[in-house]
């Protein structure tokens, strides 16, 4: 029993010395982990600083781009409410007729259904100049209606103020701006749309509406990536969504 007790004591001493070595290794590993943690924290702070610096650079480039080359602004239209005009011409008009005319003014027939648009007839959004605008309600039927009329009309087109020209020009500039913003922001767009999509040949109604849907999808994707307030966005308001995206009030622009 004494010899067995001695062997057990020797084994316990070996285990104790091994436990001490393991404790030293544990403390060494903990010190190493603390150093790595401090280094990771410093690197994370440096990365965050670089992201903020990059965001400021992107924001500066975007604001410069949209102020010099692609200015987007809201243009007031001097259209009078038809209800007011009609009431002036007929003093005996009832209040119900006036309200119906006002309601009709705020309603637009779009893609086979009637939609309500509070901005209809009041303002429009321009790009690169006040003369190139898009309808607020997203109704671009003037373009493909003009294309269908061109198919049946012979001879050169002398109507330079046709709204179809304005719509195609505004959509072309919007496409160029969106593609440039995707490069600056380093955001991949969900839909592929070339800059010349709305230029050159006259697009059919199907191809035109398909291209407009792609453009609107790309704009909304950029707005989502920059955390634009969702309450301001509308899936059909092409230039208005773009205006909210590049607005100086967008706090997360460049993220």
pLDDT of residue 32: 94
Residue 99 pLDDT class (50, 70, 90 cuts) = low
pLDDT of residue 55: 92
pLDDT of residue 160: 57
Angle at Cα 131 formed by Cα 128 and Cα 137, nearest 5°? Answer: 90
Q: Among residues of the chain, what percentage have pLDDT more than 70?
A: 78
Of residues 244 and 93, more confidently modeled: 244
Q: Is the pLDDT of residue 16 over 60?
A: yes
pLDDT of residue 74: 84
Of residues 111 and 183, more confidently modeled: 183
The stretch 99-114 carries a mean pLDDT of: 55
Q: Which two three-digit tokens encode residue 19? A: 């436990």
Whether the Cβ atoms of residue 226 and residue 185 lie closer than 8 Å to each other: yes
Residue with tokens 């749309």: 193
pLDDT of residue 202: 76
SS (H, E, C) 97-162: HHHHHHHHHCEEEECCEEEECCCCCCEEEEECCCCCEECCCCCCHHHHHHHHHHHHCCCCCCCCCC
Whether the Cβ atoms of residue 168 and residue 111 lie closer than 8 Å to each other: no
DSSP string, 201-240: SPPPHHHHHHHHHHHHHHHHHHHHHTT--GGG--TT-HHH
Q: Which of 172, 108, 102 is nearest to 141 (CA)?
A: 108
Q: Is the pLDDT of residue 83 over 60?
A: no
Residue 41 pLDDT class (50, 70, 90 cuts) = very high
Residue with tokens 């119906």: 100
Of residues 162 and 118, more confidently modeled: 162
Q: What is the pLDDT of residues 120-134, one digit of tens each?
A: 446 788 898 888 888
Q: Phi/psi of residue 60, each to 5°? A: -65, -45
pLDDT of residue 80: 46
pTM: 0.69
Q: What is the pLDDT of residues 188-211, one digit of tens each?
A: 999 999 888 888 777 888 888 899
The stretch 64-77 carries a mean pLDDT of: 86
Q: Average per-residue pLDDT in the chain? A: 81
Q: H-helix or E-strand containing 74?
A: strand 72-76
Give the CA radius of gyration of the chain. 33
pLDDT of residue 81: 45
The stretch 136-155 carries a mean pLDDT of: 74
């Amino acid at each position: 029993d004494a010899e067995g007790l001695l062997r057990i004591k020797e084994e316990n001493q070996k285990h104790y010395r091994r436990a001490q070595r393991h404790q030293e290794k544990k403390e060494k590993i903990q010190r190493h982990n603390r150093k790595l943690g401090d280094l990771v924290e410093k690197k994370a702070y440096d990365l965050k600083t670089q992201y903020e610096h990059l965001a400021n650079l992107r924001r500066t480039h975007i604001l410069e781009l949209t102020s010099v080359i692609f200015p987007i602004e809201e243009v007031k239209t001097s259209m009078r409410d038809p209800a007011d005009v009609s009431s002036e011409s007929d003093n005996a008009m009832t209040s119900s007729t006036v309200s119906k005319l006002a309601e009709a003014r705020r309603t637009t027939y779009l893609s086979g259904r009637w939609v309500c648009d509070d901005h209809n007839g009041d303002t429009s959004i321009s790009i690169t100049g006040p003369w190139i605008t898009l309808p607020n309600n997203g109704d671009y039927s003037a373009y493909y209606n003009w294309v269908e009329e061109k198919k049946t009309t012979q001879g050169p087109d002398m109507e330079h103020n046709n709204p179809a020209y304005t719509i195609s020009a505004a959509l072309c500039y919007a496409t160029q701006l969106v593609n440039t913003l995707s490069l600056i922001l380093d955001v991949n767009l969900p839909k592929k749309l070339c800059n010349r999509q709305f230029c050159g040949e006259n697009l059919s109604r199907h191809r035109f509406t398909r291209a407009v849907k792609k453009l609107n999808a790309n704009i909304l994707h950029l707005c989502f990536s920059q955390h634009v307030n969702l309450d301001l966005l509308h899936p059909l308001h092409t230039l208005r969504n773009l205006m909210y995206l590049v607005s100086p009030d967008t706090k997360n622009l460049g993220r």
